[in-house]
Structure 1
Amino acid sequence: MTQPQKIFVTGVTGVTGTVGRQVVTELLARGHAVRALTRDATRAALPDGVEVVQGDLTEPDSLAPALEGVTGLHLITFGGPCFAPLETGPRILELARAAGVRRVTVLHGGGPSLLEDAVRADDGGLDWTVLVPVEFMANALEWADRIAASGEVHEPFVSRLSAMVHEGDIGAVAAVALTEEGHGGREYVITGPELLTVGDKVATLAGARGARIALAELTEEQAIARWRAAGHPEDVVAFLLEAYGNTPEVGRTVVDTVEKVTGKPARTFAQWAADQADAFSVTAPVATA
């Protein structure tokens, strides 16, 4: 049995942090102590027993005291608005080594990263693991307000396939890599157990909430206009267009990483939808045509 350890988790953002909060939950369930970094400790709303530290990865020297006494460190690769790449990665790793951190997990951010490059090149004795999750099941929450209000989803490229992953499974893989031997120097692609189209997701959500959801397909031009209207910069619009319109093979290929690493099968979208059904509950009459 793994001995209890203290792990420092970054990327815990308010009450909506997706992966960081799941890493915290999984570590606590395994009996480990957790120190969590957030930019605003008043909004963290983390479980009892978590030591909350307020700080910023873009100012790494301020984190030195929080690194003392921890054996593992979970990192994200962005540190600014619109997921701006974190530029302080090498210094963070230097501080981690000096504090005696033994294991590091990095959540791959989908693009070039000084932090990830520094982690992969580390020759200072850190056991690093890069986590490469595909589309998060939690992304479906972007539909919640429209579904609750009108029972509709408007999306482009509705036939695209996704091996979307439960964010809890990302947290579970991270928790194992941070506390157990045998995961150093690995890159783990993390997926769910099935391939789903947008229509499959919508049907699953309809079943979970017990009410019909209508799916309307947007043209590429309509999708671009919507993303721009939402304030996304052009590089983000280009990324979304590529990710949805030409999903890379890694995003539409099921792998068994979750079960191999954690010993439990990956959770399904139906399980996720059942847990999140209240977010999609009816707040206005739903179209029946």
Structure 2
Amino acid sequence: MILVTGATGTVGQEVVRCFPVGVPLRLMTRNPAGVGAVRPGAEVVAGDYGDPESLAVALEGVRKVFLVTGRVGGDEDEAFLRAARAAGVRHVVKLSAASVADARADDLVTRWQRVSEGLLRASGMEWTLLRPRSFMSNCLSWAGPVRAEGVVRALYGSSLNACIDPRDIAEVAVRVLTGEGHRGMAYTLTGPEAISAVQQTRVLGQVLGVPLRFEELTPAQARAALLRRYPAELVQALLSSAGRQREGAKAGVGSGVLDVTGRPARSFGEWAADHAEAFAPVVVS
């Protein structure tokens, strides 16, 4: 039995879609009612990292896990790994972050991921680390302004990021969970090229067939926008990460997707074409 945590999240739901039919699969989420089209034969269980009893139920009979945690600075990894070890789990595939391997990165999120990776390595279970660059799907936050104003607003618009389609992360995760030769490995996962927000705006406009313009946010404007969504400490981490991107820290293109799947990573243009509906103006009949 394979357990997928965060089954309704950006990557988790793609992982569920990627599994071959017939693989025994259990999906853990805090809100089982929120699981949409569940794979035929997959179980859905309620699980909360802060509830040891729910973890014990979710992990019963499980031998492999796709692990996603999201409470930055929290103890979700420690709690889950303790429960997984007690349940007899053999292999944990953890979603981490590419910044962990960057010695210059010392923001809150990166420090938390480093600690979490260390906990897994020391757990006594077999492990594989997936370290993706930024998700292409982060651009979905532009959908409202694109639909309403034909504009994309972002900080450091000319800085480059080798962002990745979450579907590629999911395919790598499934290959690792169902194949051999991945234990003790850490894979850095990127898209096929480094691309800036200005370039993404141009590509998105071409896909939609409409002219889009890019507006550069000042650091103050970006901070104010982020503070409307996140706590101050996390906002500072995100701004620090953006600063590293401006310095070129996220422009490196890796071969992780090709190495594991045997095919190149998807381009931003492919991602945009597959998600064009999210940016298209609503037509009122």
TM-score category of the 2 structures, normalised to the smaller one: 0.7 to 0.9
* TM-score under structure 2 length normalisation: 0.87
* Superposed CA RMSD: 1.9
Pick closer, same or farther for the CA change 1:59–1:249 going to 2, 3 Å: farther
- Give the corresponding residue for 1:199: 198
Residue 153 of structure 1 aligns to which amino acid in structure 2? V
Residue 88 of structure 2 corresponds to which residue in structure 1? 100
Output aligned runs, 1:102-181, within 5 Å.
102-108=90-96, 110-111=109-110, 112-113=112-113, 114-122=115-123, 124=124, 126-181=125-180
Question: 5+ unaligned residues in a row in structure 1: which ranges?
Answer: 1-5, 285-289
Query: Number of residues paired by the alignment?
Result: 268
Please say if 1:56 is aligned against 2:48. Answer: yes
Alpha-carbon distance, 1:100 to partner: 3.0
Q: CA deviation at 1:182?
A: 1.1
Alpha-carbon deviation of 1:97?
A: 3.0
Distance 1:99 1:227, change over 3 A: closer
TM-aligned CA deviation for residue 101 of structure 1: 2.0
Aligned pair partner of 2:25 in 7, 13, 34: 34
Provide the residue aligned with 1:75 in structure 2: 67
Unaligned runs of 5+ in 2: 98-108
Cα distance between partner residues in 1 of 2:166 and 2:193: 15
Is this contact kept in 1: 2:6–2:69, CA < 8 A? no
Amino acid at match of 1:169: D
Structure-2 separation of matches of 1:177 and 1:231 = 34
**TM-score normalised by structure 1 residue count:** 0.86
C-alpha distance in structure 2 between counterparts of 1:266 and 1:206, whole Å: 22
What is the letter of the counterpart of residue 254 of structure 2? V
Asked if the contact 1:58/1:86 (under 8 Å) is kept, the reply is no
Find the residue that maps to 1:266 and give its secondary structure. coil
Please tell me the residue identity of whatever aligns with 2:59: L
Q: Secondary structure at the match of 2:199?
A: helix
Tell me the distance in 1 between the aligned counterparts of 2:52 and 2:269. 40
Deviations 1:3-61 (A, max 9, x none): xxx31000123xxx10111111112x364222111111111113332211112122133
| Residues 1:275 and 2:274 aligned together | yes
CA contact (8 A) 1:77 1:86 kept: no
- Within the alignment, does 1:246 sit opposite 2:234 as a pair? no
Q: Distance in 1 between matches of 2:47 and 2:229?
A: 27
Distance 1:55 1:160, change over 3 A: same
After superposition, give the CA deviation of every residue in 1:166-188 in whole Å (9 maximum; x if it has no partner): 10111111111212221111111
1:151–1:282 CA contact under 8 A, matched in 2? no
Distance 1:56 1:263 in 2: 35
Q: Are the aligned partners of 2:168 and 2:257 in contact in 1 as well (CA < 8 Å)?
A: yes
Shift of 1:91: 4.1
Helix, strand or coil at the partner of 2:254: coil
